[in-house]
Structure 1
Amino acid sequence: MAKLFVTLILLLPLLCNCFSSENPTDRRILVLLDDLGIKSSHSIFFRSLQSRGFELDFKLADDKKITLQRYGQYLYDGLILFSPTVERFGGSLDLSAVMDFVDSGHDLIVAADVSASDLIRDIATECGVDFDEDPAAMVIDHTSYVVSETEGDHTLIASDDFIQSDVILGSKKIEAPVLFQGIGHSLNAANNLVLKVLSASSSAYSAKPGAKLSSPPSLTGSAISLVSVVQARNNARILISGSLALFSNRFYRSDVQKAGSSTRHEKSGNEQFVTELSKWVFHERGHLKAVNVRHHKVGETDEPAMYRINDDLEYSIEIYEWSGKSWQPYVADDVQVQFYMMSPYVLKTLSTDQKGRYFTSFKVPDVYGVFQFKVEYQKLGYTSLSLSKQIPVRPFRHNEYERFITTAFPYYGASFSTMAGFFVFSVVYLYNK
């Protein structure tokens, strides 16, 4: 019995770490492949994830033992689908299970190509992305193609039209173009959560290579998205690429010269692009948390059970961003708080001490009822913050008003003048014959 007690004491710190939620980064990822050869042909990408602490579980997409959860608990934190041709997943995995996985707050990477199956297309559609309906169509660009010894059909594109967001693609500029060969997609106009990360040029179009066009292509110009991302309202993140080769060792190591440019880069921008983008997808960057939400009357430190109208109060909150290794103070000048009842009665931009603490002070409105402190923070590339705290506001009690109110002076004057008039009237009435 004593040995068991000592063992439990020794294991206690380990158990605490296992159940700690301080690290937001997904660590265990299921990778589904069309064939195991992709594991070696895309090994640089996989090694990059493993070097950052991720545990990758490789399986064939039609493996009958595939399951995402057991006893109601998810076994994985992220899912990578490098299986564009799979018609049906093995085990208990299907379209509904994949979307439930995302709806539960987990992350997803989907890579397609010209042979993309209906299953992969349906997953993309559910995420707000529509691939070209023509199963043989590829993105073709006769002005932004890769210069090579053979002319080719210009389906190997050198794209450098990136989203302008440091939080999604990192602060270091991607100098070399990204190699892309695959199918294009458009964004669902009804879905405002999906963003184009890598776009085609204005001269690009989607069609079957080598075929004569009998009608205008359905996808043309910069409306074609090559790589897109989604951040769901539950902060789950999704990456959708129309090219599986985008992640390959061959594209990572290939030199590139864009048509019309005299500069030849010894290495494409694929590795930097994919690495930075995967950091964002798996919450190694752009993940926020809010702690220590406080409010109290000016000059006090304890949080009251309610406020009185016209009280002066102070509100503060601390916001931190995950850097991939630790929580760092988040610095911004656009965090706001609302004092809300049916509509905002007070809207204040919070000041910051540059160390993660945001604060402000204001006067409680001259309206009583049940209010809320609300912080709704949404910024491109960052996880959204939605915080609310309810607090009642009461009017003055009868004994809390000032003894003499300035605005009531006319009434005071009327009262005293009435008494004086009555006194004069009484004297005149009594003593005047």
Structure 2
Amino acid sequence: MAMAKVVRVSLSLISFLLMLLSPAASIGQSDGPRSGKILVVVDDFAIRSSHSIFFNSLLDRGFNLDFKLADDPSISLQSFGNYQYDGLVIFSPSAKQIGRSLTSSGVLEFVDSGRDLILAADLHASDFIREIATECGADFDEDRNAVVIDHTSYAVSDAEGDHTLIASEDILKSVVFFGEKEIEAPVLFRGIAHTLNPANNMAVKVLSASPSAYSANPNGLISKSPGLSGSTISLVSTVQARNNARMLVSGSLDLFSNRFFKSNVQKSGSSTSHKIAGNEQFVTEISKWVFHERGHLKAVNVTHHKIGEIEEPSMYRIKDDSVYSVEIYEWSGTSWEPYVADDVQLQFYMMSPYVLKTLSTDQKGVYSTTFKVPDVYGVFQFKVEYQRLGYTSLSLSEQIPVRPFKHNEYERFLTAAYPYYGAAFSSMTGFFLFTVVYLYNK
């Protein structure tokens, strides 16, 4: 009896300890959108030192980094059918594949599962890297010897060189991508160019080349116009997929290096010299966006009911007055904060929207509206499809039937029908008088 009691106590203690050690029990992981385990693939472990400032910023923000060489045969993104990582950083431009069997299709499946990717390339970018970038919507220059050259927006330190060290100030002005603090210093870039399809509204240039830039071989003679030139060249781009997976594509691995982070910079033609380039702020802020520390939304407490009631009905009747509400919050990196916007809309939908209403907000995350159910019966949906640049998309839908009036719910006497009532009664009265006259008049 005593032995059984000891065993029960031991099992309870073990279960309690396992619960504490499990990821779900971690406050930082359970509250946020990501648990924070990232696989970093490199060509050489020396990158851990040469790019340590970037990696340390991820560690300081609570991410767990797992460094692997690109040719390490033990690399596996999945274990027993479950992904082991929430993010993937590929700092191995020359890799032909990752591990023993992870090809570009495996990386894309990782993204298709809703996970995030940072991809950095350079002049030695392999077909493997280029294929991943192309599938993400970024097409690198087909000329394998071409780099970005700019004879007007280069860094002054490269004045006697080939002007391949770009000092770019063409940074996307967006709070959701880069936060409230503006990046004042130019961003140093040395690498290859890529373009985005203008029809792809999910890909965004966050660092662009100037109108004077072009892509060419700096060691060769230019016999014809460069294939890529001007502002069509993207230096760094982001993509958010329909499943809210986020990707960053950079044509420069040096962009993330300690050397560029700590370099002073002066743009050609400018008299202002900055002690530190804008690379560290640029990379840190955009990585927050990539790993869902910024611009990540969630919707909770979706409710609807008739005006004057509390319980959600199983169906509505035509011409009912309905109330719809939803709470939307944004992840700030440490907690969920109320999301405030004026462009969240509700559709009451059957084949097409019968009602389209902009939701009003109380500035505390609650969005609501009232509307009258249309005079059409059938199976409708409450739909909120929210898509805004830089933010995760929200797709909410709930199906609800709408019935017509029952026979005993119609008004018995309609004011508009009084002429018809009068005609009917006058006809009966006339028929009665005609009958009396006909039968009794001699």
Normalising by structure 1, report the TM-score.
0.97
The 5 Å alignment of 1:94-109 reads 94-109=103-118
The 5 Å alignment of 1:141-220 reads 141-148=150-157, 150-220=159-229
User: Is the contact between residue 382 and residue 398 of structure 2 (CA under 8 Å) also seen in structure 1?
Assistant: yes
3-state SS of paired residue (1:203): coil
3-state SS of paired residue (1:91): coil
Instruction: Name the structure 2 match of 1:8.
Output: 15
Measured after TM superposition, the shift of residue 14 of structure 1 is: 4.7
User: Is the contact between residue 34 and residue 83 of structure 1 (CA under 8 Å) also seen in structure 2?
Assistant: yes
Measured after TM superposition, the shift of residue 408 of structure 1 is: 2.0
Task: List per-residue Cα deviations over 1:163-183 (Å, max 9, x = no partner).
Answer: 121101111100000000000
The 5 Å alignment of 1:323-362 reads 323-362=332-371
Instruction: Name the structure 1 match of 2:295.
Output: 286
CA distance in 2, matches of 1:76, 1:339: 39
User: Is the contact between residue 31 and residue 335 of structure 2 (CA under 8 Å) also seen in structure 1?
Assistant: no
Instruction: Name the structure 2 match of 1:17.
Output: 25
Letter in 1 for 2:214: Y
Task: Flag structure 2 segments of 5+ consecutive residues without an equivalent.
Answer: 1-6
Instruction: Name the structure 2 match of 1:386.
Output: 395
CA distance in 1, matches of 2:196, 2:319: 49
Instruction: Name the structure 2 match of 1:63.
Output: 72
CA distance in 2, matches of 1:252, 1:103: 32
The 5 Å alignment of 1:33-44 reads 33-44=42-53
Instruction: Name the structure 2 match of 1:265.
Output: 274
CA distance in 2, matches of 1:37, 1:12: 38
3-state SS of paired residue (2:305): strand
Q: Which moved more, 1:159-168 or 1:1-10?
A: 1-10
CA distance in 2, matches of 1:14, 1:47: 24
Instruction: Name the structure 2 match of 1:91.
Output: 100
Matched-pair identity in %? 70
Q: Which moved more, 1:141-150 or 1:308-317?
A: 141-150
CA distance in 2, matches of 1:218, 1:26: 42
Instruction: Name the structure 1 match of 2:313.
Output: 304
Task: List per-residue Cα deviations over 1:225-267 (Å, max 9, x = no partner).
Answer: 0000000000000000000000000000001111111100111
CA distance in 1, matches of 2:293, 2:13: 37
User: Are residue 431 (structure 1) and residue 416 (structure 2) matched?
Assistant: no
Change (3 A) 1:43 1:6: closer
User: Are residue 139 (structure 1) and residue 148 (structure 2) matched?
Assistant: yes
Letter in 2 for 1:305: S
Instruction: Name the structure 2 match of 1:124.
Output: 133
Query: Which of 234, 240, 255 matches 1:246?
Result: 255
The 5 Å alignment of 1:390-429 reads 390-429=399-438
Q: Which moved more, 1:271-280 or 1:164-173?
A: 164-173
CA distance in 1, matches of 2:247, 2:285: 14
Q: Which runs of 4+ in 1 moved over 3 A?
A: 9-16, 18-22
Measured after TM superposition, the shift of residue 11 of structure 1 is: 4.3
CA distance in 2, matches of 1:324, 1:25: 10
3-state SS of paired residue (1:246): helix
CA distance in 2, matches of 1:144, 1:164: 19
Q: Which moved more, 1:208-217 or 1:391-400?
A: 208-217
CA distance in 2, matches of 1:399, 1:81: 69
Normalising by structure 2, report the TM-score.
0.95
Letter in 2 for 1:368: Y
User: Is the contact between residue 25 and residue 324 of structure 1 (CA under 8 Å) also seen in structure 2?
Assistant: no
Letter in 2 for 1:422: F
Query: Which of 40, 48, 56 matches 1:47?
Result: 56
Q: Which moved more, 1:22-31 or 1:50-59?
A: 22-31
User: Is the contact between residue 123 and residue 145 of structure 2 (CA under 8 Å) also seen in structure 1?
Assistant: yes
Q: Which moved more, 1:16-25 or 1:269-278?
A: 16-25
Total equivalences in the alignment: 433
3-state SS of paired residue (2:31): coil
CA distance in 1, matches of 2:134, 2:90: 15
Measured after TM superposition, the shift of residue 115 of structure 1 is: 1.1
RMSD between aligned alpha carbons? 1.4
Change (3 A) 1:336 1:41: same
CA distance in 1, matches of 2:426, 2:389: 67
Q: Which moved more, 1:206-215 or 1:403-412?
A: 403-412
Instruction: Name the structure 1 match of 2:4.
Output: none
Measured after TM superposition, the shift of residue 144 of structure 1 is: 0.4
Q: Which moved more, 1:405-414 or 1:74-83?
A: 405-414
Letter in 2 for 1:112: A
CA distance in 1, matches of 2:19, 2:196: 49
Q: Which moved more, 1:12-21 or 1:138-147?
A: 12-21
Q: Which moved more, 1:417-426 or 1:224-233?
A: 417-426
CA distance in 2, matches of 1:99, 1:112: 17
Change (3 A) 1:14 1:38: closer
